Amino acid sequence: MLKRNLSLIILFVFCISSARGQSQGKHTVSGFVREAGSGELLTGVNIYLPDHRTGTITNNYGFFSLTLPAADSVEITASYVGFRSETRRVSFHSDAEMNFDLKPNVMLDEVKITAEKTERISESARMSTMSLPVAQVKNVPSLLGEKDVMKVLQLMPGVQKGSEGSSGLYVRGGGPDQNLIILDDAIVYNVSHLFGFFSLFNGDALKSIELTKGGFPARFGGRLSSVLEMNMKEGNKEKWHGEGGIGLISSRLTLEGPLVKNKSSILVSGRRTYADVILSPILKATEQTDAGYYFYDLNAKVNYDFGRKNKLYLSGYFGKDKFHAKFDEGYDEKGGLNWGNATATLRWNHLFSNKLFANTSAVFSDYRFGITYELKDEVNKEDFFAEYYSGIRDLSLKFDLDYMPSPAHWIKAGAITIQHRFTPYVFIEIDGPANINKKEKERTNGLESGIYIEDTWKPLANLKINGGMRFSHFLASSEQYHFFEPRISAGWKLPSDFAIKASYASMNQYIHMISNTGISLPTDLWVPTTDRVKPQQSRQVALGAVKDLVTPEMSFSIEGYYKKMNNVIGYKEGATFIQIEEAATGEGISWEDNVTSGRAWSYGLEFLIQKKEGRFNGWIGYTLSWTQMQFDSLNFGKKFYARYDRRHDLSLVGTFRLNKHITLSGTWVYGTGNSVTMPVSVYSAPEYADLYIDNYNSSSNVKEYGQKNNYRMAPYHRLDLGIQFHKQKKWGERIWEISVYNVYNRKNPFFYNIEYYSFYGRSHTRLKQVSLFPIIPSFSYSFKF
Amino acid sequence: MRNRSLIYYLLLILLLSGTGCEKYIPFVNAPVFEQKLVITSFISPSDTLSRIYVSSNQRLYGFTEQPEYPGDLTGTISDGTNEIELDTTSFGLSFSHDRMPVIPGKTYTLKVASSNGLYAEATATVPQQREILIKVDTTTRETDDYMTVSILALDIELTDYPGEKNFYNVIGKLTGYKSTSNQNSIKSIRYWFEYIDDKVASPDNRIKLESWEVPSLNNYDSAFIDIILLNTEESYYRYHKSLKNYDSGDNPFSEASPVYSNIEGGLGIFTSYTVDSLVFRLK
Looking at residue A132, its pLDDT comes to 81
Amino acid at A730: K
Residues on chain B touching A684 (C-beta within 8 angstroms): 38, 40, 55
The residues, any chain, with a CB within 8 Å of residue B226's CB and separated by 6 or more, are B171, B172, B173, B175, B277, B278, B279
> Whole-angstrom Cα distance, residue A510 to residue A531?
12
Q: Do A763 and B63 touch (CB under 8 A)?
A: yes
Residues on chain B touching A335 (C-beta within 8 angstroms): 4, 9
pLDDT band at B214 (very low <50, low <70, confident <90, very high): confident
Residues on chain B touching A751 (C-beta within 8 angstroms): 252-253
Q: Do A574 and B245 touch (CB under 8 A)?
A: yes
Q: Do B255 and A677 touch (CB under 8 A)?
A: yes
User: Residue A753: which of B63, B247, B252 has the nearest Cβ?
Assistant: B252
Looking at residue B282, its pLDDT comes to 67
Tell me B198's DSSP state.
G
User: Residue B259: which of A689, A702, A771 has the nearest Cβ?
Assistant: A702
Confirm if A318 and A365 have CB atoms less than 8 A apart. Answer: no
Looking at residue A452, its pLDDT comes to 98
Q: Could you read off the pLDDT of A531-561 as tens digits, one per residue?
A: 889 999 999 999 999 998 876 678 899 999 9
Which among A369, A688, A745 is the top mutation candidate for probing chain B, defined by the most B β-carbons within 10 Å of its own β-carbon?
Answer: A688
Which among A687, A709, A768 is the top mutation candidate for probing chain B, defined by the most B β-carbons within 10 Å of its own β-carbon?
Answer: A687
Looking at residue A313, its pLDDT comes to 95
- Sign for the pseudo-dihedral over CA of A520, A524, A527, A529: negative
**Mean pLDDT of each 10-residue bin along chain A, 785 residues long:** 55 51 70 89 87 84 88 86 86 86 66 41 77 79 79 89 71 90 92 77 87 94 95 90 89 93 92 77 62 88 92 94 77 82 95 93 93 78 78 95 90 96 76 63 86 93 92 91 96 88 96 67 76 94 90 86 94 59 47 86 95 86 96 88 91 92 93 89 91 78 88 92 91 91 90 80 81 87 91
Window from A115-124, A322-331, B241-250, B261-270 with minimum mean pLDDT: A115-124
Looking at residue A112, its pLDDT comes to 37
> Whole-angstrom Cα distance, residue A717 to residue A690?
49
Q: Do A519 and B253 touch (CB under 8 A)?
A: yes
Q: Which residues pair with A666 in a beta bridge?
A: A654, A721
Residues on chain A touching B230 (C-beta within 8 angstroms): 688
User: Residue B173: which of A194, A574, A693 has the nearest Cβ?
Assistant: A693
> Whole-angstrom Cα distance, residue A636 to residue A705?
12
Q: Do A766 and B60 touch (CB under 8 A)?
A: no
Residues on chain B touching A673 (C-beta within 8 angstroms): none
Looking at residue A580, its pLDDT comes to 38
Q: Which residues pair with A675 in a beta bridge?
A: A712
Q: Span B135-150, mean pLDDT?
A: 67
Window from A317-326, A619-628, B225-234, B271-280 with minimum mean pLDDT: B271-280
> Whole-angstrom Cα distance, residue A632 to residue A727?
62
Torsion of CA A130, A737, A82, A227, to 10 degrees: -20
Respond yes or no on whether the N-terminal peptide bond of residue B45 is cis (omega within 30° of 0). no
Residues on chain B touching A747 (C-beta within 8 angstroms): 23, 25
Residues on chain B touching A755 (C-beta within 8 angstroms): 24
State pTM to two decimals: 0.83
Q: Nearest-CA distance from B80 to chain A in Å?
A: 25
The residues, any chain, with a CB within 8 Å of residue A325's CB and separated by 6 or more, are A289, A290, A291, A292, A334, A335, A336, B9, B12
Q: Span B153-171, mean pLDDT?
A: 86
Amino acid at A352: F
Q: Residue A192's closest CA among A137, A150, A143?
A: A150
Q: Nearest-CA distance from B262 to chain A in Å?
A: 9
- ipTM for the predicted complex comes to 0.88
Q: Do A693 and B32 touch (CB under 8 A)?
A: no
Looking at residue B7, its pLDDT comes to 45
Q: Nearest-CA distance from B94 to chain A in Å?
A: 14
> Whole-angstrom Cα distance, residue A594 to residue A575?
5
pLDDT at residue B123 greater than cutoff 70: yes
pLDDT at residue B112 greater than cutoff 90: yes
